[in-house]
Structure 1
Amino acid sequence: MIAIIGGGPAGIALAGALDRLGVAYDLFETHRLGATWRAAPPDLRVLSPWWTNVLSAREALRGDPFRKPQAGEYLAHLLRMADRLRGNLRESCKVEALNKDANGACWLDTQQGRFGPYSAAVLATGYFFAPLRPSPAPISDDSIQMLHASQISDYSQLEPFRVGPGPVVIVGRRVTAGQLLLELDKRGIACALSLRSPIEYRRHGRIAELRETAYFFWEELQARLRPGLKRPSYPVMDGGRTRELIDNAQVTLWPMIERIENGEVVFDDGRRLHASAVVLATGYHAMLDLLPASIPQDVFGTPLNRAFEVENFDNVFLLGFDNLYDHRSRYLRGIRFDAVRLARILASRATAA
């Protein structure tokens, strides 16, 4: 019996792969299945084509395979996949501790009691519920609302900022910052960007779209030719309208925030700005609180591991973390392949036992 901790794309993909191999499992989810996608604004758009992100080949043929789906559509896909699962699905069951006994078996302490023993436990806990904040964090007297992008579950939450004393200051330079900028612009809400380093943009236009489509086919081929290729991979800000707003100074650029006081944002260079709110689009870090703090991490922030198994913590595996198997492992388009790889490892161990 396997314990899967996390009911997002990684956990659901692994559960489906284990079903196909006849391996029993319990899946634990703190909230509801697909919680990350339930919490995202439903019209948030995925940056890569539908066919690269779905968890089954059959689903890839639902509609245009090259479209970039919105979060609501992808959530519906996840729930369809979850409906097919045959294991024990334990929603609203937060895992509070992961322990191992003298025989190496895994036990889970949860809000609903203790579960086990399991021959292996898989952390598929992802990133979304562990928002990353600037370091050092701005000092604030709470005179301006400051929130993380993960707290925005519907873009209508931005509407109250329309009547504020100044722009919404977005902290960040990657894809989430760009998406927020566009949503504010749609609503006629002024915004500014606070940056630590220059912005990189995705290419925009018809030729860029064709190149991007070709890239995903090339990436599939490259994964076969160079298995296990690891490299930094971060989605950059979209070009097009986003870049136009910045280049035309409709969105002003500022340095990093030092502090918030008396209704003003004070920047590193001493300048001040009256603002309606500060939104941190500063990304996320891996949710690894169930692992011992002593376990070292690699340059990508992923615990050291061999074939998904955490080093010096036998029978505990990882799925859905940055550069775990290759540079796609953190993303939807890589998770589905890693889930199959890991399921085969777990099935072979179960057979050997």
Structure 2
Amino acid sequence: MIAIIGGGPAGIALGLELDRRGVAYELFEAKTLAATWRAVPSGVHVLSPWWTNVLQYRQALHGNPLRKPPAEVYLAHLEKMAGQLRGTLRTGCRVDALRADGNGGWLLETAAGGHGSYRAVVMATGYFATPRPAEPEIATDGSLPMLHAADIVDYGQLEGLRDGELPVVVVGKRVTAGQLLLELDARAIPTALSIRSGLQYRRHGFVASIRECAYFFWEELQARLVPNLRRASFPVMEGGATERLVGSGKVAVLPVITAISNGRLLLADGRQQAAAAVILATGYHPGLGLLPTGLEVDAYGIPKNADFQLQAMPGVHLLGFDNVYDHRSRYLRGIRADAARLADRLALSAGDARTR
């Protein structure tokens, strides 16, 4: 029996692949299946074309395969895929601890009691449950609202941060930060951006869209020709309207915020800035809190693995994390292929176990 921890795209994709191979599994999800996508604000879109993100290839032709649909469309896709799962699904069941059973298997501890023993455990717990604070962390006396982008489930919440002409300051410089700038500007809420280093923008416009479309076909081919291709994988801020907001000075660019005191931001260059609120668009930590501390990590901050399996914990596997297999592994477009690869390994080990 396999235990899958996490019911997001990675967990669902792996369940589908294990079903195809006739491998039994139990899936544990602390909330509901696809919980992260249920909490994404309307207006957020997937980052790459539809055909790259679907969990089954045949779903790619359901609508324009080149479109980048909004979150609610992708959620409907996940719900459809989850409805096909044949394993045991334990939703609302948070795994609190993972420990070896002494016989080469693993036990899971939940609020409902112990579960096990499992010959393999797959950590498909993703990133979005563990928001990353600003680095360096901002000391605050609580005099200004400060929240993480993960706390925003409806962009209407931004109205509650409005305070006259004082800016809402977004901390970060990647995709989420850019989306927040656009949403604040659409509501005529004064905005500023706090960053540690220079901004980069993703190409924007018709020609850029054609090049991007071609890129994803090339990336798919490259992934097949060059297995285990690992490299930095963080996308930069969208260009176009976002770049114009910053370039025109409508969105002021501030240095690092070191502290919040008496309703003002203390900046790294010694200045002070009055503000209405601070939103952290600072990303997420990998959701690997069940693993022991002190494991040796690779260049991408993930415990070292061999073919998805942790080197230090035989039988425990990772899925959906940065560069676990290649540079696409943390993204929707990499999960489908990685789930099939991992399912092959798990099915092979199950067959080996039956023949012994």
Contact 1:165/1:274 (<8 A) preserved: no
Which residue does 2:248 correspond to in 1?
248
Deviation of 1:113 (Å): 1.3
* 2:11 is aligned with 1:11: yes
Where do residues 306-317 of structure 1 align in structure 2 (5 Å cutoff)? 306-317=306-317
What is the alpha-carbon distance in structure 2 between the residues aligned to residue 96 and residue 160 of structure 1? 35
Deviation of 1:345 (Å): 0.3
Which residue does 1:320 correspond to in 2?
320
What is the alpha-carbon distance in structure 2 between the residues aligned to residue 116 and residue 30 of structure 1? 17
What is the alpha-carbon distance in structure 2 between the residues aligned to residue 339 and residue 189 of structure 1? 42
DSSP 3-state at the match of 1:163: coil
DSSP 3-state at the match of 2:162: helix
Which residue does 1:45 correspond to in 2?
45
What is the alpha-carbon distance in structure 2 between the residues aligned to residue 126 and residue 220 of structure 1? 22
Contact 1:321/1:329 (<8 A) preserved: yes
Where do residues 79-228 of structure 1 align in structure 2 (5 Å cutoff)? 79-164=79-164, 166-228=166-228
CA distances 1:201-240 after superposition (whole Å, capped 9, x unpaired): 0001110000000000000111111111000010100000
What is the alpha-carbon distance in structure 1 between the residues aligned to residue 63 and residue 236 of structure 2? 27
* 2:240 is aligned with 1:231: no
Q: CA RMSD in A?
A: 0.9
Contact 2:146/2:280 (<8 A) preserved: yes
What is the alpha-carbon distance in structure 1 between the residues aligned to residue 137 and residue 302 of structure 2? 23
Which residue does 2:259 correspond to in 1?
259
Deviation of 1:140 (Å): 0.7
One-letter code of the match for 1:270? G
Contact 2:303/2:310 (<8 A) preserved: yes
Q: Give TM-score scaled by structure 2 length.
A: 0.98
What is the alpha-carbon distance in structure 2 between the residues aligned to residue 294 and residue 260 of structure 1? 33
% identical equivalent positions: 59
What is the alpha-carbon distance in structure 1 between the residues aligned to residue 291 and residue 259 of structure 2? 34
What is the alpha-carbon distance in structure 1 between the residues aligned to residue 54 and residue 154 of structure 2? 23
Which residue does 2:287 correspond to in 1?
287
5+ residue gaps in structure 2?
A: none
Which residue does 1:76 correspond to in 2?
76
Contact 1:53/1:333 (<8 A) preserved: yes
What is the alpha-carbon distance in structure 2 between the residues aligned to residue 303 and residue 110 of structure 1? 23
Deviation of 1:164 (Å): 4.3
Contact 2:165/2:190 (<8 A) preserved: no
One-letter code of the match for 2:344? R
DSSP 3-state at the match of 2:3: strand
Deviation of 1:162 (Å): 2.8
CA distances 1:272-295 after superposition (whole Å, capped 9, x unpaired): 221111000001110111111121
What is the alpha-carbon distance in structure 1 between the residues aligned to residue 199 and residue 142 of structure 2? 28
One-letter code of the match for 1:5? I
CA distances 1:115-155 after superposition (whole Å, capped 9, x unpaired): 11111000000000111112321111111000000110110
Deviation of 1:165 (Å): 5.3
Which residue does 1:277 correspond to in 2?
277
Contact 1:164/1:275 (<8 A) preserved: no
Deviation of 1:321 (Å): 0.5
What is the alpha-carbon distance in structure 2 between the residues aligned to residue 280 and residue 17 of structure 1? 36
Structure 1 residues 37-46 or 221-230, which shifts more? 37-46
Deviation of 1:270 (Å): 1.6
Deviation of 1:50 (Å): 0.6
What is the alpha-carbon distance in structure 1 between the residues aligned to residue 257 and residue 127 of structure 2? 24
DSSP 3-state at the match of 2:147: strand
Deviation of 1:26 (Å): 0.3
DSSP 3-state at the match of 2:291: coil
CA distances 1:68-95 after superposition (whole Å, capped 9, x unpaired): 0111111111011000000011001000
What is the alpha-carbon distance in structure 2 between the residues aligned to residue 146 and residue 312 of structure 1? 38
Deviation of 1:351 (Å): 0.7
CA distances 1:3-36 after superposition (whole Å, capped 9, x unpaired): 0000000000000000000000000001110011
Which residue does 1:304 correspond to in 2?
304
Contact 1:246/1:252 (<8 A) preserved: yes
What is the alpha-carbon distance in structure 2 between the residues aligned to residue 312 and residue 136 of structure 1? 30
What is the alpha-carbon distance in structure 2 between the residues aligned to residue 59 and residue 111 of structure 1? 37
What is the alpha-carbon distance in structure 2 between the residues aligned to residue 279 and residue 345 of structure 1? 42
What is the alpha-carbon distance in structure 1 between the residues aligned to residue 52 and residue 293 of structure 2? 34
What is the alpha-carbon distance in structure 2 between the residues aligned to residue 309 and residue 302 of structure 1? 12
One-letter code of the match for 2:52? T
What is the alpha-carbon distance in structure 2 between the residues aligned to residue 279 and residue 300 of structure 1? 25
